[in-house]
Amino acid sequence: MKDLVIIWAGGAGVTAGIYAGRYGMNPLIIWANEWGMINENPIVENFSWFDEPTSGFEIMQKMKKQALTYGADYKMDNVLSILPLDENNLKAWYKIQTSMNGEIQAKSLILWIWTEKNKINVPWEDELFWKWVSYCATCDGFFYRGKTTAVIWWWDTAFIEALYLSNICEKVYLVHRRDTFRAEAIRIEKARQKWNIEFILNAQMQEIFWESNVKWIKYEQNGEIKETSVDGVFIAIGMTPNKLEWLDKYLSRNKAGYIEVDEWMETNLDGVFAVGDCSTWNSGFRQLIVACAEWAVAAESSFKYLSKN
């Protein structure tokens, strides 16, 4: 019986392992693979633990080493299901069924369930990811300072990204599929007041193109196919939390599918904590440093829960 099982890892999950290890909880970290989003990022410039730009892979390796130093256990495995030991008593411990290690029992859990970036599904979107296409202006906007970017394409997310980019880019095109908006009125008004944000309305995206120094987006507007040259493309149509069988029969989620947590990362289930992109805590500000803070709080909460029980 493990005191704490952390599912999955990434930089944030390893942070929970560091804290829980220092509490003497001997946590088990289960990873499906070592290629989380932070590993895929060739340069991370806004993570304060390092004094210079560092690859996501290097950050992960150093954090993993620290967790192991403090007694965290580590298994590469795939989680098939998580259920209460006694489904008639939701205050009981939990059983985790895995592909390679069989059943693992745990007194408390910290969950991080993958979320999927919503895509516009046009040609070259996937191929140009990390090269010229981004899903996070906070992460990658700095690389386009003084340049021209396009934000695609709706709701609050697009306006948040466009306003952020307008402070560092020479010009920002906000490409929207309608001529009316569903974003908050204050964000719409702020965007309209920005001299370097230009609206492209009633635009249906057709293609993102990149060849050598020629870069543009192609879209249909009022029945006419048009092209606009840009240096970078930011796709901003939100994220969708994965639906899994893990405790979904019991966990409370909001209408958008995010697991509901309080300020201590507690879910509606005893001993189960949820963090990161799948939870409601971060208010949409999905950054590594925020996720690490969430996991540290969750480790503290797990320790307090076990101390009382």
> Looking at the structure, do residues 193 and 221 belong to the same domain, yes or no?
yes
Closest alpha carbon to 1 in 96, 90, 66: 96
Domain count, the chain: 2
> Looking at the structure, do residues 111 and 152 belong to the same domain, yes or no?
no
Domain boundary among 236, 264, 284: 236
pLDDT score, position 114: 65
Domain boundary among 187, 202, 236: 236
> Looking at the structure, do residues 110 and 136 belong to the same domain, yes or no?
no
> Looking at the structure, do residues 251 and 216 belong to the same domain, yes or no?
no
Which residue ranges in the chain fall short of pLDDT 70?
9, 33-42, 114-115, 128-131, 212-214, 242-246, 281-286
**CB under 8 Å to 153, separation ≥6 — which residues?**
120, 174, 175, 176, 177, 203, 205, 235, 236, 237
Domain boundary among 236, 255, 277: 236
Cα 305 from Cα 270, distance rounded (Å): 8
> Looking at the structure, do residues 100 and 178 belong to the same domain, yes or no?
no
Which pLDDT tens digit goes with each residue over 229-277? 999 999 988 777 766 666 778 888 888 788 899 999 999 999 999 887 7
> Looking at the structure, do residues 123 and 231 belong to the same domain, yes or no?
yes
Q: 232 forms bridges with which residues in the sheet? A: 149
Closest alpha carbon to 13 in 244, 243, 278: 278
Q: Answer for the pair 6, 110: CB distance below 8 angstroms, yes or no.
A: yes
> Looking at the structure, do residues 219 and 123 belong to the same domain, yes or no?
yes
pLDDT score, position 36: 57
> Looking at the structure, do residues 175 and 247 belong to the same domain, yes or no?
no
> Looking at the structure, do residues 188 and 149 belong to the same domain, yes or no?
yes
Q: Answer for the pair 104, 269: CB distance below 8 angstroms, yes or no.
A: no
Q: Which domain holds residue 180?
A: 119-236
- C-alpha gyration radius of the chain: 21
Which pLDDT tens digit goes with each residue over 59-95? 888 888 888 888 899 888 888 888 888 878 777 799 9
Neighbours of 179 (CB within 10 A): 10
> Looking at the structure, do residues 168 and 34 belong to the same domain, yes or no?
no
Q: Answer for the pair 209, 217: CB distance below 8 angstroms, yes or no.
A: yes
For 89-144, the DSSP string reads -TTS-EEEEESSS-EEEEEEEEE---EEE-----TTTTTTBTTTEES-HHHHGGGG
**3-state SS class at 85:** coil
> Looking at the structure, do residues 69 and 125 belong to the same domain, yes or no?
no
Task: Give the helix ranges, DSSP H, for the chain.
Answer: 10-22, 37-40, 56-69, 137-140, 155-166, 185-193, 288-308
> Looking at the structure, do residues 227 and 256 belong to the same domain, yes or no?
no
Task: For residue 66, give the CATH number of its domain.
Answer: 3.50.50.60
CA dist 9 → 89, 170, 187, 198, 205 (Å): 28, 38, 35, 40, 35
Q: 74 forms bridges with which residues in the sheet? A: 29
Cα 139 from Cα 286, distance rounded (Å): 9
